[in-house]
Amino acid sequence: MSGGKTANVLFSFELARNVIVMGVSEDKVWFADLSMEEVKDAVKADKVIILPVGSVEEHGSHLPLSTDSIQPEHIAMEVAKRTESLVAPPMKYGVCPTTRDFPGTISISFHSLHRITREIVEEFIRNGFRRFLILSGHADEEQMVALRLAARHVMWRHKGENGNRKIRIMVCADYDFAYQLRGKYFDEKDGHGGTIETSRVMAIRPDLIKGEGKKGFSKLPRFEIVADPKGFLPEGIIGDPRAASAEKGLFINNHIIEEIVRLIEELKR
């Protein structure tokens, strides 16, 4: 963490601003809570569908296995409230090759994630929706490639269709935006289960924080693929969770929400 006074002023400012942001209520944003009639209206209104994707994965001794699901689901809900979008039932499993040997990681294959994502988006299209944001809270390379490839295959299938039905899909990780704050407010090397991630969970689900955690680091080689990544990640985390706070988490989450609201506005054009 760096930035001292400036950062604290910013955190407080963000805290205050969060209170005055207005939007539609929470019970109007979850797709699966709609009735058949409400879905027809949502299609007519050309609503954007946000699909949160997470993982069930170890996050050190201080964070829950659901850490990567909690974050994008929260962001998706807040963005949907501000943009009158809908949040699809979240995908709570992900591809976790690096942390697979730690207790609690339940990893699915690249092909499973690719296939289910493709099928879900196709089903929304069959229902008449055409604008999508796939938002992953787990930024593992293989996870992101599976999601991007699924979106690409959907786009290829609908290529050349009538212009009115034009499909648009964005794929990103909320960490694409969270990590913009590294170097400025947080350590350059902060990562899995570190200050940023711990702060974010503290702001969203403080009841799930299990102590302050240990500082961890990665000795994983840059290019070599190893059979036992666990041995290169002694604490199962990268960064210092002891520097985390709910206030920092709120600041980070608000930054991500703002950036993703902008993406949705772009998708609506």
**Interstrand relation of 131-136 and 49-53 (parallel, antiparallel or unpaired):** parallel
Q: Which stretch binds Zn ion (CB under 5 A): 66-74, 81-89, 102-110, 261-269?
A: 66-74
Q: How far is the CB of 240 from Zn ion (least distance, A)?
A: 15
Separation of alpha carbons 61 and 228, rounded Å: 20
Q: How far is the CB of 61 from Zn ion (least distance, A)?
A: 14
Residues in a beta bridge with 216: 239
Q: How far is the CB of 191 from Zn ion (least distance, A)?
A: 9
Q: How far is the CB of 96 from Zn ion (least distance, A)?
A: 9
CA angle 61, 250, 267 (to 5 degrees): 110
Q: How far is CA 203 from CA 62, 123, 137, 237, in A?
A: 14, 34, 15, 19
Which residue's CB is nearer to Zn ion, number 68 or number 78?
A: 68
Q: Which stretch binds Zn ion (CB under 5 A): 14-22, 25-33, 68-76, 164-172?
A: 68-76
> Applying CB under 5 A, which of residues 14, 58, 68, 240 lies at the interface with Zn ion?
68
Residues near 254 by beta carbon (within 8 Å), at least 6 away in sequence: 14, 17, 18
Residue nearest to Zn ion (CB): 68
Which residue's CB is nearer to Zn ion, number 154 or number 237?
A: 237
Q: Which of residues 205-264 bind Zn ion (CB under 5 A)?
A: none
The full length of the chain comes to: 269
Q: How far is the CB of 237 from Zn ion (least distance, A)?
A: 9
Is residue 58 a contact point for Zn ion (CB under 5 A)? no
Q: How far is CA 101 from CA 60, 97, 109, 256, in A?
A: 13, 9, 15, 30
Residues in contact with Zn ion by CB under 5 A are 67-68
